[in-house]
Each structure stands twice: as C-alpha cells, then as structure tokens.
Structure 1
Amino acid sequence: MDVMPLLSLVAGSAAVAGAARRTPVPAPLLLVAAGLAVSALPGVPAYTLDPGVVLPLLLPPLLYTSTRDSSYLGLRAHLRAVALLSVGYVLFATFVVGWAAYLLVPGLPLTAAMVLGAVVAPPDAVAATAVARRLGLPSRVTTILQGESLFNDATAITAYKVAVAAAVGEGATWSGGVMEFLVAAVGGVGVGLVLMAPLHWLRTHLREPLLQNTLSLLIPFAAYGVAEQVDASGVLAVVTVALYLGHRAWEVDFATRLQEEAVWRMVAFVLESSVFALIGLQLPVVLEGLLRTHAGAEAAWYAVAVFLVVVVTRFVWVYPATFLPRRLFRRVREREENPTWKGAMVTSWAGMRGVVSLAIAFSIPAVLHDGAPFPKRDLLLFLTFTTVIGTLVVQGLTLPPLIRLLRFPDRSPQEETLAEANAQAQASRAAERRLEDLLRDERNALPQPLADRLRAALERRRNSVWERLGQTDPATGESADDTYRRLFREVIGAEREVFVRLRDKRYIDDEMLRTLLRRLDLEEAVAHREPL
C-alpha cells in the first residue's frame, strides 16, 4: 500500500491551513483552492472521496470536537431556532432543490432529483462559525449556526436514504420515510443517552490521563458505530454523548483536560484541513464521468441554476422561520430575545456546503435494483461538487465583508472582563474560606511560608483580572498582569537554560531533565493566559 499520497495530503493541507492564518481569507477557502490547483498538476494521484471512510471515520471525530466546544445551555436556549434550521430547513431545501432539478434537467426522474436535494441540503458551518468568532458576531447567531451544523447532517443523511430507496426501486413511501426519520432520530438520541453516563463514569474513574485520552479518542467512533448497528442516527448519538461529556468536563482530572484539549485541537486541525483539501482534489474524478455524457456548457448552466436555487432557498426559509413565530406565539416573544434582520441576513448567507455533501454524493449507488444505471449519477456528482465549491467561494469570501458592512454592535471587552473578575472574586472568596477551614485542622499543618504561598496564589488569581481593568504602563502598554506574565516567562526561561546546561555537562541525565522541565511547563501553564 502506497502511503505517500495520504502523507502528502495531510502535510500539504496542514501547510496551507497554517499559511491561511496569516491571511484574512478563511482557511477552508484556501484549502479548497489549493486542492483545485493541485488536482490540475500532472502526475498527481486521484484522491477518491470514499464515503465508507468519510462518514464513519472522519465525521464522528469532527462532530465530537465541535460539540464539545459548544454550549449545552446556549443550544437549549435557542433550541427552537436550531431545530427549524437543522430539521425544517434541510427538509425544505431537499424538496425545493429536488423539484427545481427535476424541472431543470430533462430526463431526470423526480426520485433521483430528490437524492440531489438531500445531498446538497445540509450546510457545513465550520467556515461560517470561524468567521463569526473572529469578527465578533453576537453569541446568539454563532450558537445557532453551530447548533445547526451539529444536527443537520443527521436530517440530510436520513432524507438521502429515503430518497435513494425510492430511486432504486425499493418501494419506499413518503410516510415510510417520515417514520424512518423519526426512528433514526429517536434511536440516535436514545443510544447517546444510554452511552453518555457509563462513558462519563469511565472518564472520571480512570486515574491515568493517557488511558482517559485514549478513551476520549474512541468515544465518537463507539457512539457512531453502536447507533448505526441498530439503524439509528450515528450523528445524533455522537452529538448527544459529546454535549453531555462537554457539559460535565469539569469533573475530569485537570491533567486529562489539559492533554485532551491539546489532542483534540490537533485532531480537528488535521481532519478539517484534509477534508477541505479533498473537496478541491475531487475535480478530476467528477469531471471524468461527466464529460462522457454531457456537454460542458449544458452542465455549467445546470450548475449555476442549482447553486442559485440553493442560495435563494435559504433566504426563503430563514426570514419567515426567524420572525413569524414571534408574531404568531406570545410565548416565543416572552421567552426569547428579539432577533434582528441583520442576524437573519448573516444566517441566510452563511449556508456554505462542505465535505459531508460530497461524501453522501459519492455513496449514490451506481445501478438500480433492475440493474440499470442510476439516472444521471455523474451529473448529480458534478452538481454537488459545483454547489459545494460555489458556496464556499462566493459566500465564504463575501461573508466577512457582509458582517463588517452590517456593523453589529461591538462586544464590550470591559463588560466581559468585569463579569470575569466578579466570577473570579466569588470563587476566590469560597476558596479562601475552604483553605482557612483546612489549615485549622492539625492534620493539615503547614509551615507558615507554604501556607502564605497558598494564600498568595489565591490573591494573585483574584487580582489579575481586576488589573486588566486598570491603567496600562505608559512605557510598555502592558497592564500589571501582562508584565507579571512576561517576567514570569523570563525567569522560567532562565531556569530552563540552567537545567539544560547541567544536562549537557552530565551533572543530571535526560530523564531528570524531562522531569524538571515538565514541572516548569506546568508552572508556566498556570501563569499563562490567552489574551481576550
């Protein structure tokens, strides 16, 4: 087995994604563009997007890491809006896009057209949420977009299965499709509910961080696989488990949390970079089959038309779904904050499609039950590809300027810092009371310098946040907290240099050096804090 194409894909994707951080262009767009450019080079191997790999091996970890970083309380607060997008919109887009394709493409059966509708229905919000966070969109819009991306794949995959069953002649009916959707959804959530408590118990009772993180890497695959074995939604099973574990992550050992965050950030970076590059690399595979059956100009017209229908359909759904419930139901007006037309505009335009659509498209069967070729399969692959590329390029490039043009109210760093300071003050007071109670117990007797060191650490944490609200040093532009962290890094660095010099002189061995450096690393991690 030749592993060089895979290694080249991962290394090249990581390099492009790293370079993208130095540009204003979102990384997914540069990765897709790089994939398109590389696919045209002579000698580049064909990277075929195998749905048997993407769906069970790539989708679960990407879903898991996205869900762990989301807010359970935020999703619950905006559950109605998330459900309207992740279920209502996906089904609406399936029918509208499918019907439009049926009217547009001569000879395309309605059932096959509905397959296309289900394939291109679910947006991939990875790029959109990255832009939203960077440009400071209101948290409500960001939470809704992120929530939609967690659940809409389950709706689209179920709708796709129903449409394919009807297209290949398995006698599927719409009523049967609705029942299959309900069974898959309830089953997926049910599997997640069954698994989440035992998995959390394991995470909190394993004492070795290495074992805990190994378990963490296996969880999304286990949840997805168990659900798929019972014909339930693996996507919803993964999301349910990840929401619960993320919400209860504070109960896990600190060393596990530190390692887990680093591990999953690396996994998400590699997978997201690779899958977006794979989208661009699919061009030769898609064109190879298409050009045997369709003229280029004809296929281009179909692609533009389907792209426009996909874009317009989202606006047609989002605006009524955003404002009508408030007009119709007093309970919605009382319980939810008032949405704005600006938020609806961004939500409508943030409908970029991604790798899940392409993976589903490549799983379209080649033949029907009677042995005949699947109607216009090559064209369906092409239209999926152009829709994905079109939304990523057109909407992805214009989304940041649109957000700036709409001029959303800026988040107040002062208010956020004040809220953080108040929370830290309450926690510090509780910690101080607990410390004094412990020190009064003779079994916890400490020398006075060590007891004072514990008190000083609590005071340092309490004061550090308030210091960011104060004046900065006119000479350096730093707050007292910034200066403290910089000086702490300098003195830690001086200690490291001494340890390395002693190792080089053979006064200590490498094992002792690693022990000493890890101790310094942990101390530096405690003192370090990312800037707001």
Structure 2
Amino acid sequence: MNGVQLLLIVGVGIAVTAVARRHRIEPGWVIVALAAAASFIPGVPRLELESELILALVIPPLLYSATRNAQVSTFGANLKAIIYLGVVTVVLTAGVLGWLSSLLLPSIGIGAAFVLGTVLAPPDTITTVSHGDEMGLPKRATSILTGESLVNDATALTLFVIAVATVNGEHATWGGGIAAFFRNALIGLAIGGVLSTITLMIRKRLGNPTLETVLVLLLPFIAFLIAEELHASGILAVVAAAFSVSINVTLDPNFAYPGAYRTRLQEEQVWKTLDFLLETFVFAYIGLQLKWVVEELAASEEPGLVRTLVAAGVLLVVAIVFRMVAVFGLFGRWTLRHRRYERRMATDVYFRQTMEARNARRRGGERLPPPTMKENVLVGWTGMRGILTLAAAAGIPEHTASGAPFPGRDAIQAIALILTLGTLLIQGTTVGWLARRLKFDVSAERAAAEQMRARGHELIAAAVSPGDASADALFDAQRLAIATAVRDRQITEEVARELVEELDLRQAARHA
C-alpha cells in the first residue's frame, strides 16, 4: 500500500462519513460497500498487509478508545447481563457458527471452521450505543450494550487467537485451549493493571499535555505487545489498562495534577480522530479485498464460490436468529430466578434483612432486575457485525506455522464481509425504527439525570478553595466535590464526567 492509496481512502472516508451522517446512515457499511464495488474497477491494485500488523496496530487503540467511556458503577450493576452477553453468548455463538461452518464447508477443516466461528461471534453493539440518545434508548439497555461491547471483543479475540493457534498445531486439544484462555485472561488483566498504574504515576510528572497524550496513546500498544510476548491476552490487557486510566484521570483526586484539564480535553479529540482514521481504514481495506477473494474462490475447487455464498447466507440467518434465542433464553432464566427471589423477599423476613444489608454494602448499590421484554427485543436485535469481525478476518495469517496455506482463508474473509454487510443492512438500518416502535419511556431517567446535574452544579457552586488560592485551585476543589459525590452515590459517573468536562472547558477558557 502506498501513500497515495492511503490518502485516497481517508479522503473518500471523510466525504462518505459526512454525507452518511447527514442522512442518519451508519457510514461504516457505506464505506465497506463502496470499497467492495471499487475493488472491481480495472487497474485498482490489491492492498496487502501482514496479518500481525492489522491485529497489533488496529485492534489495541480501537479497544482502548471504546473502553475509555465505560462506567465502573453501571458495569458492576449490570455485570450479570454483560457476562451473559459478552462471554456466554459469544462462546455459544462461536461454537454454533463454528460447528455449522464445519458442516457447510467441510473442506476447510474443523479448526478453520471454528476460526470462522470466532470471527463472526462478536456483535458491534457500540454503534447502537453511540446513537442511543437519538433513538430514545433507556440507560439500562445502553449500559448493557456498552459493557457487552467491551467484554465480547476481548472474549472473541481471545478465542480467535486460540483457534488460530490450534490450526497452527500449538494446542493439541480444545481442552488445552480452554485452560490457556483462563491463564491468558488472568495474566493479561494483571499486565493491564500494572501498566496503567505506571502510566498514571509517570503522567503526573511529565507536566506537558503533548507528552502526556503521547504516553496514553502508546499504552494500548505497549499493553498488547507485552502481554502477547508473555503469551497472555493482549486484548484483556488493553481493556484493563483503559478502564483503570480513564476512571482515575477523571474522578480520582489522587491522580489530579496541575494542567490535567488540558490533557483531558486534548485526548478527547485525539481519540475521536484516531477512531475515525482506523475504522475508515479497516472498512475500506476489507472491502477492497472482495474482488480478489471472489476470484480466488471461483478458481478453487473447494470450497468454491457458490458453496461459500450459500454458507454465508445460512450463517447470516443463523447468527441473527441465534442471538435472539440466546438473549431470550439466558435472560428468561434470569427472570425466573428473579421472581423466586422477589417471592422470598416478600415472605422471608430474615432473608429480606440479610439481602437489604448486603445491597447497602455493595459498591454499586442494589443489583438491577433482569431486562424487560422490550429491552430483550432491542438487545437481541442489536447483533450487527462490524469493525472487529472485519479486522479479525483480515488478521488471519496467509500460512500456518508449517508453511502451508491457511485453510479456507479466502472463504472466511468473504463470509465475514458478507455477514457484516448483511447484518448492517438488515439490523443496522432497522434498529432505530424498532426502538421507536417499542416506545421506551425514558422521561423518568432524563428527569433523574437533570436532577443529578442540578445537584452537581450546586456542589460546584458550593466548593471553596482553601485560603487565597488561585482560580486553578478552585477548579480543583470543584472537581474534588464531584468525585466525592460519585463516591457517595449522589450522582452517577456519567453525569460526573459531563460536569468535569464542563469544568475543564471553563478552566481552559479562563486561561485562553
């Protein structure tokens, strides 16, 4: 790939994104569709990158950016739903689609079939969340989908690495792969936690917003590469690091330092820009492969173009249906257990007192009940595949460790592209309509959020800096008041982050 081609991709991406957003269309599927069509233009060269480069350079920053705005409290309150969707459902989906792929495409082998299953397993729910306010989604559904987007990425990519390693002969059995999964997960989380702590300590001492931003930009790559070198989960290392840094630099007074507001404001725009560039590149890159993938499939006897297209259509339908079934099955079981819990709370005085005391001690407050039927329908329909599926498909190596061609690589990439386009077209264009038809009543939530904002502004107004301190010290005191209110559960993390951003902007304007 030369510089001219890269500039063309970015330039077209800017134009497409501007037009798509003006018409309230998700730009990602427009970019990948146009790129796929452009691949058939005579003279357009094939773009090739090493699979390791795609996984190491694209996935870490995208995961880190998606994790930055996650809220610890809502993550904990909805942990059961998030684990159901982000771990259980992804593992089941990978298994079902992998098993079905082995039946539909027996020539690629069961190992490659399960690689395809892991590529197709994780939905891109963060796209829906980004338009949650426009669609009138309740905070409960938004919190669940946000948490799922973080956990399912880590789960699917960890399974993907294990599946590829299995094809390479690095694990003799899937049992060994499962054991490696838990080992890799624990070590990856530990690496992310350690690196985030080191980053936070260094950040306070740099005293330069540019250097501080560069340090945080390097963190996801460092976490990923170190974890991978230690044969741990680089994905979970990135997620753990992002979680720790984002919450501490915003709401933890122990990591406050002069000039931090400038870095926070700068980083916000840097990450938005980086997200756009990386997403545009990956959507365009995988789309531009279509012509050559189709030609190679047509030229091959197994699995062949027709069989691959049939398999893609079947897997598309199964992926959509299975998510609905999994959501209603898992959440339905949770609903039954919750009803038994409520009956016992109503009839057993000792049990009720015990649970009330436990809920009072819990950091996130009382755990929320299972999602409602309307929330189940919406969450079940948000199964669009997106950037992760395309990046993982592009990241499949051309050859195995023995030097042989990776079995079914072209078929896997073609199916990933078709499934992504299909789900974006079927579900992505209708999820907004569905949310409006379900008519969620979010008036109470919005009123509560406004009350919290009003309470936050009262705390800001009441905050006083010690002695004859400077205006900067007053802003620090106001941020401390907001952090204390979050700790005391007077306001949510979401509202607190909004208020901190307001304070950052006011402080920056004062110095300007």
Q: TM-score, normalised by structure 1?
A: 0.77
Answer whether contact 2:282 2:391 (CA < 8 A) is retained. Answer: no
Change (3 A) 1:16 1:205: same
- The aligned counterpart of 1:298 is 307
CA distance in 1, matches of 2:305, 2:149: 33
Per the TM alignment, residue 337 of structure 1 is displaced from its structure 2 partner at its CA by 2.8
Matched, 1:420 2:453: yes
- The aligned counterpart of 1:53 is 53
- The aligned counterpart of 2:368 is 336
Which amino acid in 2 is paired with 1:400? G
Answer whether contact 2:136 2:435 (CA < 8 A) is retained. Answer: no
Per the TM alignment, residue 342 of structure 1 is displaced from its structure 2 partner at its CA by 1.5
Change (3 A) 1:51 1:372: closer
- The aligned counterpart of 2:143 is 143
Which amino acid in 1 is paired with 2:312? A
Amino-acid identity (%): 37
Per the TM alignment, residue 369 of structure 1 is displaced from its structure 2 partner at its CA by 6.4
- The aligned counterpart of 2:98 is 98
CA distance in 1, matches of 2:395, 2:28: 23
Matched, 1:281 2:281: no
- The aligned counterpart of 1:259 is 266
Answer whether contact 2:383 2:423 (CA < 8 A) is retained. Answer: yes
Change (3 A) 1:305 1:262: same
Change (3 A) 1:48 1:358: farther
Change (3 A) 1:122 1:50: farther
Query: Which of 387, 399, 411 is the aligned partner of 1:379?
Result: 411
Answer whether contact 1:151 1:235 (CA < 8 A) is retained. Answer: no
- The aligned counterpart of 1:347 is 379
Change (3 A) 1:227 1:170: closer
CA distance in 1, matches of 2:228, 2:133: 33
Matched, 1:308 2:310: no
Matched, 1:438 2:467: yes
- The aligned counterpart of 2:483 is none
Per the TM alignment, residue 419 of structure 1 is displaced from its structure 2 partner at its CA by 2.4
Which amino acid in 2 is paired with 1:316? V
Partner SS, residue 85 of structure 2: helix
Deviations 1:85-114 (A, max 9, x none): 221111101111111122223444333322
- The aligned counterpart of 2:114 is 114
Matched, 1:84 2:70: no
Change (3 A) 1:178 1:414: closer
- The aligned counterpart of 1:204 is 204
Query: Which of 404, 409, 428 is the aligned partner of 1:396?
Result: 428
CA distance in 2, matches of 1:169, 1:198: 36
Deviations 1:47-98 (A, max 9, x none): 3364222211111111111111121221121112112222111110111111
Change (3 A) 1:219 1:309: same
| Aligned pairs (5 A) from 1:224-239 | 224-239=224-239
CA distance in 2, matches of 1:178, 1:200: 33
Per the TM alignment, residue 168 of structure 1 is displaced from its structure 2 partner at its CA by 4.3
Change (3 A) 1:19 1:238: same
Answer whether contact 1:14 1:274 (CA < 8 A) is retained. Answer: no
Structure 2 stretches lacking a partner, 5+ long: 251-255, 343-365, 479-504
Which amino acid in 1 is paired with 2:409? R
Change (3 A) 1:201 1:112: same
Per the TM alignment, residue 368 of structure 1 is displaced from its structure 2 partner at its CA by 5.5
Matched, 1:220 2:253: no
CA distance in 2, matches of 1:376, 1:18: 36
How many residues of Structure 1 are paired with residues of Structure 2 in the alignment?
A: 449
Change (3 A) 1:171 1:202: closer
- The runs of at least 4 aligned residues of structure 1 exceeding 6 Å deviation read 330-334
Matched, 1:360 2:389: no
Which amino acid in 2 is paired with 1:418? Q
CA distance in 2, matches of 1:207, 1:371: 50
Change (3 A) 1:41 1:418: same
Which amino acid in 1 is paired with 2:281? S
Per the TM alignment, residue 182 of structure 1 is displaced from its structure 2 partner at its CA by 0.2
More moved, 76-85 vs 154-163: 154-163
Partner SS, residue 352 of structure 1: coil
- The aligned counterpart of 1:134 is 134
Which amino acid in 1 is paired with 2:509? E
Which amino acid in 2 is paired with 1:198? I
Change (3 A) 1:133 1:292: farther
More moved, 324-333 vs 281-290: 324-333
Per the TM alignment, residue 133 of structure 1 is displaced from its structure 2 partner at its CA by 3.8
- The aligned counterpart of 2:334 is 325
Per the TM alignment, residue 520 of structure 1 is displaced from its structure 2 partner at its CA by 11
CA distance in 2, matches of 1:71, 1:367: 41
Structure 1 stretches lacking a partner, 5+ long: 459-518, 527-532
More moved, 337-346 vs 233-242: 337-346
Deviations 1:425-481 (A, max 9, x none): 12311x2xx25x625xxxx6x9xxx9xxx99xx9xxxxxxxxxxxxxxxxxxxxxxx
Per the TM alignment, residue 331 of structure 1 is displaced from its structure 2 partner at its CA by 9.3
Change (3 A) 1:26 1:374: closer
Per the TM alignment, residue 330 of structure 1 is displaced from its structure 2 partner at its CA by 7.1
Answer whether contact 1:124 1:351 (CA < 8 A) is retained. Answer: yes
- The aligned counterpart of 1:124 is 124
Answer whether contact 2:77 2:367 (CA < 8 A) is retained. Answer: no
- The aligned counterpart of 1:479 is none
CA distance in 1, matches of 2:411, 2:27: 28
Partner SS, residue 22 of structure 2: coil
Answer whether contact 1:5 1:45 (CA < 8 A) is retained. Answer: no
The CA RMSD over aligned residues, in Å, is 2.9
